[in-house]
Structure 1
Amino acid sequence: MSDNSKPLFSRPVLAAIMLFCTLAIWLLNLTALNSKLPSPKIEKWTTTSGIPVVWLKQAEWQDSNKLEIRFSFRSVTTNITLIQTTLAMLMSDSLPLSTASINQRLAPLAASANSYYDHENQTIGLTLSNEPQYLTPTLSLVTNWLRQPDFKPRTFDVWQNQHQAHPPVQHELEAVLFFDKTNNQSNEFKTEVSLKQVTDYYQSLKSSAATVFIVGDMSPETKQIVEEAINTISQDYELSRASAETIRYESVSSTIQQNEGELWQTRSAIALMPVSSIKEWISLQIWGADLVSTLNQQQHIDFVQLAFTLSPQRPWAWWNIQYRDSVTEAENEPVDDASRFMSAKSLVFVEQVPSVNDEKTFETLLDNFKQQLEQQTLSPTWWSYIATQVTHEDGELTVEQFAKGYKEAVDSFTLEDYQTALQRLLKPSSYQEIQVYQ
C-alpha cells in the first residue's frame, strides 16, 4: 500500500519560513538586550615606585579632550575629622608662596582638583584637558603641589573656626553606627586636630597608596606626558597594607533623640555587607531609589537625601529626612495609604521594601536605572567614581570586572537577583536613627 500523502509546504516555502523564524529569534534577542552601554578597555602598568596604574578608555571618548586622573589611597582610620581637614587644607591655598586656592590656579588651564574620603578610602582627583598646550603646564603645577604642599597656619585656623562646631552629619552617624559609645574607641572621632597632625597625615597618605586611575582618551604623546608626571608625583609613594586587615564592627539597632519639640530631621544609617558583584551594586541603586521615592511620597516629609559609602570592608548607607513645617503641610493631598505610614526603619527589612513585593514597581525602577546608566557611562567622571568608590582592586569586584561584565549584568537582572542581593547586603540589626527636634 503506497503512501500518497504530500508535504504541507514546498521546499522553497519551507526555506522561507525557516529564514523568517531565524530573523524573528534574532530580533527578539536584540529586543531583550537593548541597553546601549559601552564597554571600556583597560590598560595597566606600574609606576617606577611600584604603584598600580589602571587606564580606562573607550571609543566614545576619542573626540573628547576630558581626562580624569585619580590618586587612590587606603589609609584606614577612625579619625574622620583629620582626613576631612587634611584634604580641605590641600584643596585650599596649599601651593607654596600662594594665597590662591589650587582650583583658582588651575582654572585658567581648563583644569580642576577634587577630593573624596571615607573611613577606608581617600582620593585626590584631577580633571584636566588632554591637549598638550594645557596638559603640560597643568601637570607641572600639580606635581609641585602634590609633592610638597604648604599647609598654612592662618588657613588652618580659619578652617577650624568655621567647621569645628558643626561636623558633617555623616561623621556623627558613622560614630553611632560602628563604635560603642562606652568604648574608648569612640573617642577617636574627635573634632579637634592640630596643624602638625594634618602635615603628618598627608605624609602618611604617601605610604598608603592603592592605585592611580586614568580615565579618558590619550594619544601616545599624551600618555607619555601623563606617565612621566605620575612617576614624579608618586616617587616616594608606598603601597598600602591596609587591605590585609580584616575590620568587623557590630552594632545594635537604636534611636537617639536630640532636643525636644517638633520633629525636624531624621538621620538614619545602616551597615551593609561588602559589595561582591555587579548585580549587588545594581540592587543597591534600585533599593536606594525606592527608599527615596517611597519616603518622598509621604505628606509630612519635605525631602530625602541618600548616600552610599561602598568601602571594601565596612560599607554603609545613610539618609537624611527633612520634615515639613506643620503650618505649611498640604491639606487634603491625596497619598497612597501604603506609603503614608512607611517609616524609614521599615525600608531596611527586605520583606517590607515596595519594589521587592511589587513587580511593576521593580520594573519601573529598573527601567529608570537603565536610562540613567546609558547617559552616565558616557562620562569619564562617572567611571572615575566607579573606579574609586564602588570597585576595589584588592577586593571581589575590580573596575576591570565591572567594565567587562556590567552590561550583561544589567540586561539579565531579575527580581529574583534583586531579592537575593538585598537579603545578603542589608543588615537591619545595625540600623541607627538620630531624631532631631526643634
Structure 2
Amino acid sequence: MSDSNKPLFSRPVLAAIMLFCTLAIWLLNLTASNSTTLPTPKVEAWSTTSGIPVVWLKQEAWENSNKVELRFVFRSVTTNTALIETTLAMLMSDSLPLSTASINQRLAPLAASANSYYDHENQVIGLTLNNETDYLLPSLSLITKWLKDPDFKRRTFDNWQTQRSKSPNAQHVLEDALFFDSAEEQVSKNLMPASLEHIVDYYQSLKNAVVAIYVVGDLTLKAQQSLRTALNAISQDFKIAKDPAEKIQHEPISSTIQQNQGDLWQTRSAIALKPVATIKEWISLQIWGADLVSTLNKQQHIDFVQLALTLSPKNPWAWWSIQYSNNPIITPTASNEKMDQLINAKSLVFTEQVPSVQDEKTFQALLDAFKTQLETQALSPTWWSYIATQIAHLDGPLTLEQFANNYQEAVNSFTAEDYQTALSQLLTPSSYQEIQVYQ
C-alpha cells in the first residue's frame, strides 16, 4: 500500500477520537438541558419636567402586543397601615370628580384597569393600558384627571368605615411585631378610623414622596410622545421622596401569641429578612418559599398554606398562614414516621433544617420547576412590572437594569452552595413571630 492510501489515524486513535466526540456531545447536551434561555429586556430612562425618574422596559417579544403596564412608586412612610389601606381603597373607588362609578368601571371600556399595592415601605398605583391610539389617548386623559386631583367623597369614606373588618389584619399585626411596636399596642392603632381629612392629607404625602415611574411594554413613537406628555401633566406637582430618618426599631425577639382556646385552627407566622442585594439571593428566596409551602402542604393535618414575600428595600420580610384540617393531628410512630412526620413551621426558618438544603434532589427539583416557570413569566409585562416595583429598587443595591441584564446568567449558574450561602445571609430565625388561632 502506498503512503497515500494509508489511513490518517490508526484504529486505536480513531476509537479514542470517536469516544472524545461522543463525550463532548453528551456534555453539550447536558449543559443545554440545564440552561434556561430568557429574554434580556432593554431599559431606557428619562425624567418628567418636574424631575421624576421614568424607567421604560421593553423587549422584542412585545412588539406585537398591545399591553403596557404603568406603575407609580411612592415611599410615604407611616406605621398606620390602616391609613394607607383606606386611602388606596378610596382612590380605587369612585374618586373621579362628579362620578359614582369606580375608576375600573370607567377604564373598562378603554381596555384598561387600575390596581394598587402597599407594604410598610412602599406604595404603588398601577395601571394596565392598551397601547393602541384609540384606547391609549382617552385612558391617559382619564388617569391624568384622576391622579392630579382625586375626589375623596364623604359617603364613600363612611361606607368604607362601615364595611371594614373590625378584627385586626393578621398581616399588619405580624408586620408591626417585626418592625414597630409590640403587636398588642399596634392592634388598637390599626383599628382606629382615620378621618376623611387624613385621607386627603395622606394622598398629598404620596405626591410628595415619589420614587419613580415605571413603564413596561411596547410603545410606538406616537404612543411614547403621548405618554411623556401625560406623565409630565400628572407629575406636575410631584416631589422626589426624601430618605426618611432612620427609625430606631426594636430587635424582634421570637414570640408566640395565642388567640382564644380550643382546637388549633390556624397559625400565622413571620420572619424578618436581610435586604436582597443580588439576583441569586432573590432566586434563593423563591426556592425556599416553594419548599416551605410544599413541605407543609404534604402533612395530613394541614389543609393549605399561603406564603407572601415582601422584599422591600430596607426591611424585607416573609409571612405565611397555615390552615389546619379537622382531622386529629397524628403523632409519629416507628411505622408511620416517614409518611406522617410532623414538621414545625418554625424549623423551616433555620437554614440547616430546610429540606432543599438537606437534600440535593429536592433542591434540584425545585430549581428546575422555578426555571420552567420563569421562562413563561419573563415574557409577561405584568411580571416585569412586579420585578420593577417590588424586587429591584431604584435606590437599592439591585436595580431593574441590573436584574434585566444579569438574571439569566444568575439562573444558569445557580448552585446548591449559592442557595445555602444566601439563606444563611437572608434568614433571621431570632425574629420569628407566630400567632396561633384556636376555635
TM-score (norm 2): 0.91
- The separation in 2 between residues aligned to 1:382 and 1:394, in whole angstroms, is 20
Alpha-carbon offset, residue 184 of structure 1: 7.2
Aligned positions of 1:40-79 closer than 5 A: 40-79=41-80
For 1:200, the aligned partner's letter is D
Alpha-carbon offset, residue 177 of structure 1: 2.1
- The separation in 2 between residues aligned to 1:262 and 1:232, in whole angstroms, is 57
Alpha-carbon offset, residue 81 of structure 1: 0.8
Secondary structure of the residue aligned to 2:322 is strand
Aligned positions of 1:285-300 closer than 5 A: 285-300=286-301
Alpha-carbon offset, residue 180 of structure 1: 3.5
Secondary structure of the residue aligned to 1:289 is helix
Secondary structure of the residue aligned to 2:274 is coil
- The separation in 2 between residues aligned to 1:344 and 1:231, in whole angstroms, is 49
Gaps of 5+ in 2: 1-6
For residue 4 of structure 2, what is the aligned residue in structure 1? none
Secondary structure of the residue aligned to 2:240 is coil
| 2:101 is aligned with 1:100 | yes
For residue 342 of structure 1, what is the aligned residue in structure 2? 343
Alpha-carbon offset, residue 248 of structure 1: 4.6
Q: Is the 8 A contact 2:63 2:218 kept in 1?
A: yes
Alpha-carbon offset, residue 166 of structure 1: 3.1
- The separation in 2 between residues aligned to 1:409 and 1:24, in whole angstroms, is 24
- The separation in 2 between residues aligned to 1:9 and 1:219, in whole angstroms, is 64
For residue 415 of structure 1, what is the aligned residue in structure 2? 416
For 2:296, the aligned partner's letter is L
For 1:171, the aligned partner's letter is H
Taking only aligned residues, the RMSD between alpha carbons, in angstroms, comes to: 2.8
Alpha-carbon offset, residue 21 of structure 1: 7.9
Secondary structure of the residue aligned to 2:309 is strand
Cα-to-partner distance string for 1:262-281 (whole Å, 9 max, x where unaligned): 00000000000000000000
For 1:361, the aligned partner's letter is T
| Change over 3 Å in CA distance of 1:26–1:260 after alignment to 2 | closer
Secondary structure of the residue aligned to 1:242 is coil
| Change over 3 Å in CA distance of 1:339–1:235 after alignment to 2 | farther
Secondary structure of the residue aligned to 1:267 is strand
For residue 431 of structure 1, what is the aligned residue in structure 2? 432
- The separation in 2 between residues aligned to 1:18 and 1:106, in whole angstroms, is 65
For residue 3 of structure 1, what is the aligned residue in structure 2? none
| 2:49 is aligned with 1:87 | no
Q: Is the 8 A contact 2:176 2:186 kept in 1?
A: no
Cα-to-partner distance string for 1:78-104 (whole Å, 9 max, x where unaligned): 111100100000000000000000000
- The separation in 2 between residues aligned to 1:124 and 1:428, in whole angstroms, is 33
Alpha-carbon offset, residue 336 of structure 1: 6.5
Secondary structure of the residue aligned to 1:211 is strand
| Change over 3 Å in CA distance of 1:328–1:94 after alignment to 2 | farther
Secondary structure of the residue aligned to 1:78 is coil
For 1:98, the aligned partner's letter is S
For residue 217 of structure 1, what is the aligned residue in structure 2? 218
Alpha-carbon offset, residue 107 of structure 1: 0.2
Secondary structure of the residue aligned to 1:251 is coil
- The separation in 2 between residues aligned to 1:279 and 1:375, in whole angstroms, is 19
For residue 270 of structure 1, what is the aligned residue in structure 2? 271
Secondary structure of the residue aligned to 2:150 is coil
Secondary structure of the residue aligned to 1:235 is coil
For residue 317 of structure 2, what is the aligned residue in structure 1? 316
| Change over 3 Å in CA distance of 1:24–1:327 after alignment to 2 | closer
- Give percent identity, aligned residues only: 63
Q: Is the 8 A contact 2:269 2:320 kept in 1?
A: yes
Secondary structure of the residue aligned to 2:241 is coil
Alpha-carbon offset, residue 75 of structure 1: 1.2
Q: Is the 8 A contact 1:76 1:242 kept in 2?
A: no
- The separation in 1 between residues aligned to 2:21 and 2:49, in whole angstroms, is 59
Q: Is the 8 A contact 1:77 1:119 kept in 2?
A: yes
Cα-to-partner distance string for 1:357-398 (whole Å, 9 max, x where unaligned): 000000000000011111111110000000001111111001
For residue 360 of structure 1, what is the aligned residue in structure 2? 361
Aligned residues: 429
Gaps of 5+ in 1: 1-5
For residue 373 of structure 1, what is the aligned residue in structure 2? 374
